[in-house]
Structure 1
């Protein structure tokens, strides 16, 4: 994966509750379509698209019998087919992906707002947020809280959250409205917060802190192979991508502007790209659209991934 989105937080021997994984992400980016490799050994990996189509409910869906999976997938097909012509066009598929992505963001914000603000006050203060999420640090050995574990420390997470909170706080009162809280949780989805995505990405990958990202740092964020191990083809491809497309001025490094072009490209539409890909994989008659039969024949493709959060409704009992 190019960007690792979630840092798993463990419960320590102190017996206190640490911030949970869903509290919010350490480094936020337009969420990867899946944590599966899109291609394995140069062959297409259907599990990538499975997670892409179903979102976080992919594991639940995997437990269903194949016939029930297909039945539910057929219902989802009908929802995507908004003009009821029994065919899914690329535009309909793209709109569905965007809808499910927005739904994920909205539901995530709602859930965390309730967790952090059970009384549903108009705002959440930094003081209360810090106590709820990082209060355990008061009882933790300072040396332990500063100790990096797989690239993070609790103290560093607190500092990062504090900075991100201040950036999301548009009126500077140290309290966040629900809209500002959404920007804090998902800066990649909020125009005025996207600069924070660049800053955090630079900090994570720029290991020598020289303000730029070398090829070694770029590859090291994705791949840490042992010396005797032969370098995978995808790593060689990423090195070419770095030299040809990422490092636009050819100086051997990515500066902040080049990182911005990499992770938040203005001309790249994730929903469009995923819609094109799914149609390419499932469109057996090459007419650039999908029938229900084509989708059901490739149901493993559509129900195998977590990537776009689309199809999350498949595990909702009230929708089936």
Structure 2
């Protein structure tokens, strides 16, 4: 079973240089987050999907003995009852804590970037301030827009404004830090789930005809192999998944409700799913629990998972 999970769904946020991020993650189960095959035996998929290419490269250069030492310390933290065994429940709780920490830290970082841009004089953010910081450069473009590789900054601005409005719960035209967090990470706010579905649908529906075909579904995940080469096994599996599970009414395409059932499945807890996945993969004696030795023996698996906060915990020197 392949589980493709991501903690954060960010289209555009306030970044250090106030530039627009074109690439964004999805809150999707079963969508590859890397061009690497997930089960190719190297875990390059996990490293690039969860660490990013730069962080994955840094990981490859980290001294093996030091990284294993740090992972061992993380295992001690996961073992909340100190019995030497990691249960699914303990792993799930650790993943939840890691996820919450990531969201809080990212929000704080982006919020401080905004405060620095306004000399720290305000504790709320309105759309015009955000728009000027992120999209103000468009006002000086002769064509009124910038198109890069088919990507329109004007379209992204419109999407951001729609999301900004939805995050503004009290409708006072300004975002508090908590509302800003919902804007940055809508997948973690119940009232923002529909915008996650809408944005995902719009991204995949390339011809903008209001439906997602099999070609669009596969094309969003896989850009194709060299001519004559066979498709990876996971692509073949996804084609079958589209026909047998995603396309519930069998009409050959996905509508918004079918996409919603796919990316926001009812009663699905991705932290629980990831915890079960990790325990299953590393449980060498099949007792449904993990020892420290089993985790360290599967080192590559864990540094590419949410259990180590996408590997970032390995680099937090103050924790060790």
Cα displacement string for residues 271-299 of structure 1 (whole angstroms, at most 9, x for unaligned residues): 12221222222211111111111111222
Aligned to 1:185: 184
Contact 1:54 1:314 in 2 (8 A): no
Aligned to 2:164: 165
Q: How does 1:296-315 map to 2 (within 5 A)?
A: 296-304=296-304, 309-315=309-315
Cα displacement string for residues 140-171 of structure 1 (whole angstroms, at most 9, x for unaligned residues): 2326x342x34421111111111111111122
Cα displacement string for residues 202-223 of structure 1 (whole angstroms, at most 9, x for unaligned residues): 1111122221111111111112
Contact 2:51 2:310 in 1 (8 A): yes
User: Gapped runs of 5+ residues in structure 1?
Assistant: 10-16
Shift of 1:134: 1.2
Q: How does 1:115-154 map to 2 (within 5 A)?
A: 115-118=113-116, 119=120, 121-142=122-143, 145-147=145-147, 149-154=148-153
Shift of 1:5: 6.2
User: Gapped runs of 5+ residues in structure 2?
Assistant: none
Counterpart secondary structure, 1:179: helix
Contact 1:215 1:239 in 2 (8 A): yes
**Alignment root-mean-square deviation, CA:** 3.1
Shift of 1:6: 6.8
Aligned to 2:254: 254
How far apart, CA to CA, are the structure 2 residues paired with 1:48 and 1:132?
34
How far apart, CA to CA, are the structure 2 residues paired with 1:19 and 1:307?
30
Shift of 1:244: 0.6
Deviates more, 1:268-277 or 1:68-77: 268-277
How far apart, CA to CA, are the structure 2 residues paired with 1:254 and 1:27?
20
Aligned to 1:220: 219
Cα displacement string for residues 92-118 of structure 1 (whole angstroms, at most 9, x for unaligned residues): 111111110111011111111111123
How far apart, CA to CA, are the structure 1 residues paired with 2:33 and 2:184?
20
Deviates more, 1:74-83 or 1:224-233: 224-233
Answering whether residue 230 of structure 2 is matched by residue 245 of structure 1, we say no
Cα displacement string for residues 207-260 of structure 1 (whole angstroms, at most 9, x for unaligned residues): 222211111111111123265443332222111100111011111111111000
